[in-house]
Structure 1
Amino acid sequence: MTAKSVPNVTFHTRVRNDQLEGPNPYEWKDVTSEEIFAGRKVVVFGLPGAFTPACSESHLPGYEETHQAFRDLGIDEVICVSVNDAFVMFQWGKALGIENVRLLPDGNGEFSEGIGMLVKRTAQGMGNRSWRYAMYVEDGQIEKVFSEPGFMDNPPGVPVQISDAKTMLDYLKQR
């Protein structure tokens, strides 16, 4: 596979600001692809949605549990991308106790579309969503992608088979 650059998009995130008073000390912070990927080794995995069964029961928890193993292999960051907004991603991470994996909202699906992983989930009332995948990105270049088989619009489900943390770890160990 010839390396392809990650798309140049802006992620609309929320970050804590202790200077703000009140019950919601968070503010908007736009982060670009370049800021996230330039000069870094990043594992990114995309999934259909926060709070959905396979995403919550195995996909995200698998990467959280193996986070240190990725760090030990020189990975700067492990990122979960989903076509959800920043508020949903924050609450999902809080509900699952996620402390190490960065939950990156792709609310408009621009990143997912830019890497060719945006699919329609309209039959389930979910709009456009990310296909389930994992990829290794080095200095903004997509070096390896593990895309779940059967890529299509309105799938009945997308199980975690090859985009899991173990598959990515095995790949990185052989690099």
Structure 2
Amino acid sequence: MKTGTRLPDVTFHTRVRDEAIEGPNPFRWQDVTTGDYFAGKRVVLFSLPGAFTPTCSTYQLPGFENGHADFAAQGIDEIYCLSVNDSFVMNKWAEAQGLKNVKVIPDGSGEFTRKMGMLVDKDNLGFGMRSWRYAAIVTDGVVEAWFEEPGLMDNCPEDPYGVSSPETVLAHLAEQKEPELA
């Protein structure tokens, strides 16, 4: 569906560690653009409804983190996890998950997610506007392959998960590398 689409040009408001800042919160604001994250790289981008939520914290994020070497072996330069959460929340979640390989992208206002057509209302869970669950393989800012969970809708009574799993994305990458039979 979104294969061949260029990612929207957005500026993400992030917080990055700065050793020059003393105290318990040594971070400063740094704006990072879509180009900064994606230009000249082949990456896996996956987006999910929220940091610290059960499926996201138990399966999806740990699966991508633990599978990092397998993705790298398939030609992936970076793995990004995006959520409609602010940078404070995303950084704390990354810390709580012990991330070393996956990088988090805060889409606090949902601008990127809205421009991707993936912003949904999750008021039924008290979440407000959030991202529908999806994953993509992105090469130099263009979607190469798209993995969207079924049932995209506001206030979905379920949280489908499988199409955007690390296992599904990795299997797709492995299939692309296999030589075609004559």
TM-score surpassing 0.5? yes
1:152 aligns with 2:153: yes
Contact 1:41/1:136, CA 8 A, preserved across alignment = yes
User: Unaligned regions of 5+ residues in structure 2, if any?
Assistant: 177-182
Match of 1:16 in 2: 17
Counterpart secondary structure, 1:68: helix
Partner of 1:116: 117
Instruction: Please give the alpha-carbon distance, in whole angstroms, between the structure 1 residues aligned to 2:57 and 2:158.
Output: 14
| Sequence identity percentage | 53
1:119-153 deviation per Cα after TM superposition (whole angstroms, max 9, x unaligned)? 01122221100000000100110111110011100
Stretches of 4+ aligned residues off by more than 6 angstroms: none
Amino acid at match of 1:23: P
Please tell me whether the aligned partners of residues 44 and 80 of structure 1 are also in contact (alpha carbons under 8 angstroms): yes
Aligned position for 1:103: 104
The amino acid that maps onto 1:135 is: A
Amino acid at match of 1:151: L
Q: In the TM superposition, what are the counterparts of 1:1-175 in structure 2 within 5 Å?
A: 2-175=3-176
Q: CA RMSD in A?
A: 1.1
Instruction: Check conservation: 1:54, 1:159, Cα contact below 8 A.
Output: no
Please state whether the residue corresponding to 2:100 is helix, strand or coil.
coil
1:30 offset after TM fit, Å?
A: 0.5
Query: How many equivalent residue pairs?
Result: 175
Q: CA deviation at 1:44?
A: 0.3
Which whole-Å CA distance do the structure 2 matches of 1:173 and 1:11 have between them? 31
Question: 1:18-53 deviations in whole A, cap 9, x for unaligned?
Answer: 111222110011000011111110100000000111
Partners of 1:44 and 1:136 within 8 A in 2: yes
Any conservation in 1 of the 2:50–2:84 contact (CA below 8 Å)? yes
Question: Normalising by structure 1, what TM-score?
Answer: 0.96
**2:66 and 2:160 mapped to 1: Cα distance?**
19
Rounded Cα–Cα distance in structure 2 between residues aligned with 1:90 and 1:157: 27
Contact 1:106 1:112 in 2 (8 A): yes
Deviation, 1:157, is 2.7
Amino acid at match of 1:156: P
SS in 1 for 2:30: strand
CA radius of gyration, larger in: 2
Cα deviation, residue 73, structure 1: 1.3
User: What stretches of structure 1 of length at least 5 have no aligned partner?
Assistant: none
